[in-house]
Amino acid sequence: MFSLLTLTLRNSLQYVKVSLKILGRHQNMSYTVQQLANLAGVSVRTLHYYDEVGLLKPARVQSNGYRYYEETELLKLQQIMFFRELDFSLDDIRRILSSPRFDMKSALRDQKELIKLKRNRLDGLIKTIDKTIKKINKKINMKDEELYGNFSKEEMEKYTEEAKQRWGHTEAFKQSQERVKKMGKAGLNKVLEESGKLTLEIAAAMAAGQDPKSEAVQKLIARHYDSLRTFYEPNLQMYRGMAKMYVDDPRFKVNYENVATGLAEFMRDGMIYFADSQELSEK
């Protein structure tokens, strides 16, 4: 069973590489629902269900009722399959794929890392099984903690949370959408104006040569953290993930680089230091 799982993960990683290549060239083939089911190794019933719930619509439906799928739908189905491999629910997948912030190339790279983490964890479990068998056969000594060393999913869960923020799918994202609707255009403009002023204060501190870890800058970062409550209830892990996005995600980085060169990195360093300091003070 574990060999099959390892093989599946290897195939998943290979599919990620192929997908990144496909995104760079044009494909024009059309597939019927039966052909796509055979190609992807899923049932026709599954594809019909995905259509019914709005997860995967065909490119077109002929007058005779035949569904046809093209490159866009093939790549979207692959995304669904990768997310299912990573234990995402269909509701989560639908929200992720419909998010305006979703970027397929970025998602594929994140999925590749998550699948690697899953593979490493399974490889570790295989080693634990082998060592346990040897222990039972009295061939080796094994510390008690080694019995459970590879069961933790903490690293994978942490990366998944950061990736969800990049994809625009978190409870916080949903919360912020609801609050923005309630505050109206005038309210939102006021919040954005205040946010812009705070960004300029942080940029001025950077221009004055302040260290992002300095007390003065950390007070500004604390205001930045508190300002997020306008949209949702933040936590330190989420804030740390957001800090990395300011540099790693070009769509975020450009907003700060347009204010001042190097501001994205300055914000990231200040935010991560703030999150680390707050966590230490809470212990």
Q: Do domains 12-91 and 170-282 have the same CATH topology?
A: no
What's the mean pLDDT in 56-67? 92
Tell me the C-alpha distance between 161 and 172, whole Å.
11
Q: What is the pTM of this model?
A: 0.51
Residue 46 has pLDDT above 60, yes or no: yes
What is the reported pLDDT for 65? Answer: 87
Share of the chain above pLDDT 90, in %: 34
Between the ranges 101-105, 194-198, 228-232, where is the mean pLDDT highest?
194-198
Token digits of residue 103 = 């970027």
Tell me the Ramachandran region of residue 262: left when phi exceeds 0, alpha when psi lies from -120 to 50, beta otherwise.
Answer: left
The dotted CATH code for 170-282 is 1.10.490.50
* Predicted pLDDT at 207: 94
Average model confidence (pLDDT) for the chain? Answer: 81
Per-residue pLDDT band for 54 (boundaries 50, 70, 90) equals very high
* CA contacts within 13 A on the Cβ side of 112: 14
DSSP of the chain: -HHHHHHHHHHHHHHHHHHHHHTTS-----EEHHHHHHHHT--HHHHHHHHHTTSS--SEE-TTS-EEE-HHHHHHHHHHHHHHHTT--HHHHHHHHH-TT--HHHHHHHHHHHHHHHHHHHHHHHHHHHHHHHHHTTSS---GGGGSTT---HHHHHHHHHHHHHHT-SHHHHHHHHHHHHHHHHHHHHHHHHHHHHHHHHHHHHHTT--TTSHHHHHHHHHHHHHGGGTS---HHHHHHHHHHHHHSHHHHHHHHTTSTTHHHHHHHHHHHHHHHHHHHH-
Structure tokens at 156: 């994978």
CATH architecture group of domain 12-91: Orthogonal Bundle (1.10)
Cβ(165)–Cβ(248) below 8 Å: no
Give whole-number Cα distances, 229 to 106, 165, 225, 234, 252, in Å: 27, 16, 8, 7, 19
Q: Is the pLDDT of residue 77 over 70?
A: yes
Distance CA 260, CA 207 (A): 9
31-32 sheet: strands from edge to edge: 31-32, 67-69, 60-61
Conformational region of residue 138, where left means phi above 0, alpha means psi within -120 to 50, and beta covers everything else: left
Q: Take residue 271 and report the two structure tokens written for it.
A: 């935010």
What are the tens digits of pLDDT across the range 141-178?
777 777 776 666 665 666 566 666 666 556 666 677 67
Hey, where are the domains in the chain? 12-91, 170-282
Mind listing the pLDDT tens digit for each residue in 215-239? 999 999 999 999 888 887 888 888 8
